[in-house]
Amino acid sequence: MTMRVLTGITTSGIPHLGNYVGAIRPALAASRVDGVDAFYFMADYHSLIKCDDPARVQHSRLAIAAAWLAAGLDPERVTLYRQSDIPEIPELTWLLTCVTAKGLLNRAHAYKAAVDANSEAGEDPDAGITAGLYMYPVLMAADILAFNAHKVPVGRDQVQHIEMARDIAQRFNHLYGREFFVLPEAAIEEQVATLPGLDGRKMSKSYDNTIPLFEGGPKALRKAILRIVTDSREPGEAKDAEGTALFTIFRAFADPDETGAFRSALHEGLGWGEAKQRLFERIDRELAPMRERYEHLMAHPHEVEAVLMAGAERARFIATPLLAELREAVGLGHGTVRPLPANDKDKRKKKAHKGPRLVSFRDGDGRFRFRLLSADGEELALSRGFDDPKASGQAIQTLLGGVDDLEIVLADGVLELRQQGQAVALSPPISVAGHEEATSRLRESLRELAAENDA
Ligand code: TRP
C-alpha cells in the first residue's frame, strides 16, 4: 500500500531560507522515500484570505512553484499543482461545510486570536473578520480529504487544522455510513530546525526578518546575511557559537565537520564580518545551481505552467471519481450502476461496506467514464470515455454481463480489459511480476459485482 503524503504552501510571499529548510527540503526528502506518493500544492485559494493584491498572489504562485522545481522536485514523481486548478476542492468544501459544527470553527486558533484582538481593542468581536478566515479549516480539510492523504507534514501551528480535518472526515463518514475518507495525520518533523531570522526570532514574513531563498540573486543573499544581528565582540575575541542565529543558520546548511570547524573558528576569535562571509559562501554553494534553474523558470513561466497543468490533471484523476462518489452518497448523483432501494439505509450501509464497486463520473474533458474500485478504495481499472452517461451505463451492463468472456491482457505496462476485441478499460500501471495477481483480482471483483447485479 502506498502512503499518500500531502502538503500545501500558502501563496502570499516569496520563499525564504526558513521555508527551504523547514518545508521544501524535508518535503523533497520525503518524496524520495519508496512507497510514498507525494502531493504538493500551492494553496492559492487560502492566500486570498490574507492577501487582496492580485499581482502578489500571481507572482507568489510562480515563485513558489519555481522554487520547488529548482530545489529538485521531480514532477514525474511528485504531483505538483495549484489548489485553484482543482474544482473538486471548493466543491468538497461545501459538502464538508454542511457537516461541520459551527462550534468547531469557533475554536480555531486563528479565528479566536482575531476575535480576542478585537475584544481587547474594544471593537465588535467580528470586526474585519471575513467568512474566509472563519472557513479556513474547512477549505484545508477539503485539500487533504479530496486526495485521501494519510500524512500531512506541517508546522506545529497547523496541527489543530489537521485535527479538525479528522473530525470533519469522521463526521462525514459517520453520517453517510461508509469510510469515504481516510483520517489524515499530521507529521511534524521534530528534528527539522526552525530557522532563526535576522533578529534571532523564528524566520517569518510576519516578523520581516527573512533571508530570501533565490529572489535577488547572490547579492540579495549576501546583503541579508550582513544584516544578521550579532553581539559586539571584536575580531580576536572568543565567541560562543551555540545559540546565535548566525551559527544556527550555518548548521542548517553544513555537515557536522564543517559545523565543528566553524564553531572552533568562532571560539578562536573569527570576526563576525568574516563569519558572515563564510556563511554566505556555504549557503551559496548549495543554492547557486538551484538558483540558475529558478531564474530560468521565472523567465519561462510557461514551463512551470505545463508542469502544474499536468499535476492538476493527475490530481483530478484521484479527486474527480471521489467527488462523484460523494455526490452520489449525499444524494446529488446522476444515477449510477444500481439504483439503491430507497428507505433502506441499513442495508445500504452493509452492502457498501464490503465489496468492490463501480463509480461513474464525468471527466475533465466532459466524457463519461467509470472506475472499478476495490473494497478498500484502490483503483483497479478505468474505463474508456463515452459520449453520454447512457453509453457508459450500457458498457457497464455489457461488462458485468460478460465477465467470463472478458479478456485481460498485459499491454504497455497496464492490463487491458477487452470485450469482443474492444478495449473497455485499463488498469493503472502494473509490474510484470504483479500482473497475474492483478488479473485475478480484477476478474474476481467483476464477478462479485456481476453476481450482485444479477441478484
Ligand atoms: N494552512 C497551511 C499553512 O499556512 C497551508 C495549507 C493549506 C495546507 N492547505 C493545506 C497545509 C493542506 C497542509 C495541507 O501552512
344 occurs within a structural domain: no
Judgement on whether residues 24 and 63 belong to the same structural domain of the protein = yes
Residue 179 sits in the same domain as residue 245: no
For ligand 1, the distance from its centroid to the CA atom of residue 7, given in whole angstroms, is 6
* 284 plus 400 within the same structural domain: no
The reply to whether ligand 1 has any atom less than 6 angstroms from the CB of 10 is: yes
Give the separation between CA 179 and CA 85, rounded to whole angstroms.
26
Judge if the beta carbon of residue 325 lies within 6 A of ligand 1. Answer: no
* CB 284 within 8 Å of CB 221: yes
Q: Which of 5, 6, 10, 150 to mutate to test the pocket of ligand 1 (most atoms within 8 A of CB)?
A: 10
In a domain? residue 282: yes
pTM: 0.75
Asked whether 143 lines ligand 1 (CB < 6 A), one says yes
Asked, for residue 220, whether it belongs to a domain, the answer is yes
Domain span including residue 304: 3-196+300-313
Cβ–ligand 1 contact at 139 (below 6 Å): no
Residues in the chain with pLDDT values less than 70:
1, 191-193, 335-353
Per the domain annotation, does 330 fall within a domain? no
Mutation probe of ligand 1 site: the residue of 46, 81, 92 with most atoms within 8 A of C-beta: 46
How close is the Cα of 43 to the center of ligand 1, in Å? 7
Check pocket membership of 322 for ligand 1, CB cut-off 6 A. Answer: no
Which atom of ligand 1 has the smallest separation from the CA of 140?
Answer: 9
Is 201 inside any structural domain?
A: no
Instruction: Tell me the CATH number at 76.
Output: 3.40.50.620
Cα gap 109→100, rounded to integer Å: 16
Nearest protein CA to atom 4 of ligand 1, as residue: 10
Is 419 part of a structural domain of the chain? yes
- Ligand 1 nearest-atom number relative to CA 10: 5
Please check whether residues 44 and 143 belong to one and the same domain: yes
Look at residue 310 in the predicted model and tell me its pLDDT.
97
Query: Does the beta carbon of 153 lie inside 6 Å of ligand 1?
Result: no
- 44 close to ligand 1 (CB < 6 Angstrom): no
**Ligand 1 nearest atom to the CA of residue 143, by list position:** 12
Return the pLDDT at 412: 85
Pocket test for ligand 1, best of 140, 147, 151, 204 (most atoms within 8 A of CB): 140
Instruction: Report whether 418 contacts 424 (CB < 8 A).
Output: yes
Q: Best mutation site among 80, 143, 150, 160 for ligand 1, i.e. most ligand atoms within 8 A of its Cβ?
A: 143
State which of 7, 40, 139 you would mutate to test the pocket of ligand 1, scoring each by most atoms of that ligand within 8 A of its C-beta.
7
Do residues 251 and 390 both lie within one domain?
no
Angle between helices 272-299 and 54-70 (to 10 degrees): 100
Q: Give me the pLDDT at residue 442, please.
A: 92
Residues 359 and 446 in one domain: yes
Q: What is the pLDDT at residue 36? A: 96
| Cell numbers at 253, concatenated | 546548511
Q: What's the pLDDT score for residue 399? A: 92
Pair 34, 138 in one domain: yes
Residues 292 and 307 in one domain: no
Are 62 and 15 within 8 A, CB to CB?
no
Measured between alpha carbons, how far is 289 from 359 in angstroms, rounded to an integer?
46
Residue nearest atom 15 in ligand 1 by C-alpha distance = 9
For position 336, what pLDDT does the model report?
Answer: 53
CA 112 to chain centre: 26
| Predicted local distance difference test score (pLDDT) of residue 350 | 47
Residue in the block written with cell 495525520: 185
Q: Is 369 in the pocket of ligand 1 (CB under 6 A)?
A: no
> Looking at residue 427, which CATH number applies to its domain?
2.30.29.80
Q: Is the CB of 46 within 6 Å of ligand 1?
A: yes
What is the CA(350)–ligand 1 centre distance, in A?
35
Query: What's the rounded Cα separation, in Å, for the pair 420 and 360?
Result: 22
Residue where a domain terminates, one of 313, 339, 368: 313
Residue 208 lies in a domain: no
158 & 60 share domain? yes
Cβ of 84 below 6 Å from ligand 1: no
Surface-to-core class of residue 163, CB atoms within 10 Å of its CB (0-12 exposed, 13-18 middle, 19+ buried): middle
The residue from 313, 346, 364 where one domain ends is 313
- Residue 446 has which C-alpha cell? 467483476
Q: How many domains, in total, are found in the chain? A: 3
